[in-house]
Amino acid sequence: MSRPSKGARLFRERNGRWYIRDGDHRLSTGTRDSAAAEAALARYIAEKGRPAGPGDPDKVTVAAVLDLYGTEHAPHAADGGERIGYAIQALLPVLGSLPVASLTGAVCRRYAKARGVATGTVRKELGTLQAAIGYCVHEGYLTSGRQVTLPPKPPPRDRWLTRDEAARLIRAAYRNPKARHLARFILIALYTGSRTGAILGLRFGPHTGGGWIDTERGIIYRRAAGEAETKKRQPPAPIPPRLLAHLRRWERMGARWAVEIDGQRVASVKRAWATALAESGIDHCVKHDLRHTAATWLMQVGADKWSVAGFLGMSMETLESVYGHHHPDHMSGAIEAYARMRNIA
């Protein structure tokens, strides 16, 4: 009885070049770089399993599905496909060579174990795979889909910064000549609760690549003109007076972007963020926690919940379930009822 094929895989020759071996077939990647060879293998698997017409899920590979989704759908995503791209990079090495029909619950759980990252990250990656399968069914590349088993949804993060922590973080960013742009990023995040991508896309004046700041009227437009609304709502919002003063000063100084280095847009604050955290002594904090902080501070001072939800672009359900316990009125009816009772003891 012949052994089952191990599928396409890489091997390295003595000359240092990487080759693809697929059964009896042997194909050169033309490179000695392992990362480039992995990319070549991913392309090979995708092209090999890519259906010419509607394909059965037992014949179409995961790589082919992800390739179609990444090529056709991702460029039209709100963030330009960045998040989809990260998920595809993680999924391909582990699941790429498998047919869609093989995505059982056990396979998905093995994937989660192999990744060794946070449950929330695995959910996003497998969720991207589920979306890719649905896209291929809808577009006629697959005759039928496959339900991807997601790990349980983790509890929402409740990490937020105290006023002292926020001040320390801003000071750490400002004192570092290479990270002063991060101080601006932090201020905008704390005063508007905007997401990282929206902040980094903000410019003084309208443009097609992202949102913009109207310092004359005091309004922040977190989406580009004509950009489609997504589940991560980013409505226009009035700018708090203290932040508006900063923004007007930056604009007078000649800034083109809200967060910039030498007049150029900043693509990422990841490195500056890590440095500022280390120098300020703040642990277990990610950039998205600035949004949590904005929501928490607004609830703590008793702001109207509908106004907070609208300002942050957040549903009332999320606001109540994640941040409701910070509001002074949280469960106030129960406390008032106890106050009306006769003494228990």
Q: Does domain 163-326 have CATH number 1.10.10.10?
A: no
In this model, does residue 74 exceed pLDDT 70? yes
For range 37-62, the mean pLDDT: 75
User: What pLDDT, on the 0 to 100 scale, is given for residue 336?
Assistant: 83
pTM of the predicted protein model = 0.68
Q: What is the pLDDT of residues 22-34, one digit of tens each?
A: 777 777 777 888 7
Distance CA 298, CA 304 (A): 9
In this model, does residue 341 exceed pLDDT 50? yes
| Residue 174 CB contacts under 8 Å (≥ 6 apart), including other chains | 180, 183
The domains of the chain are located at 9-138, 163-326
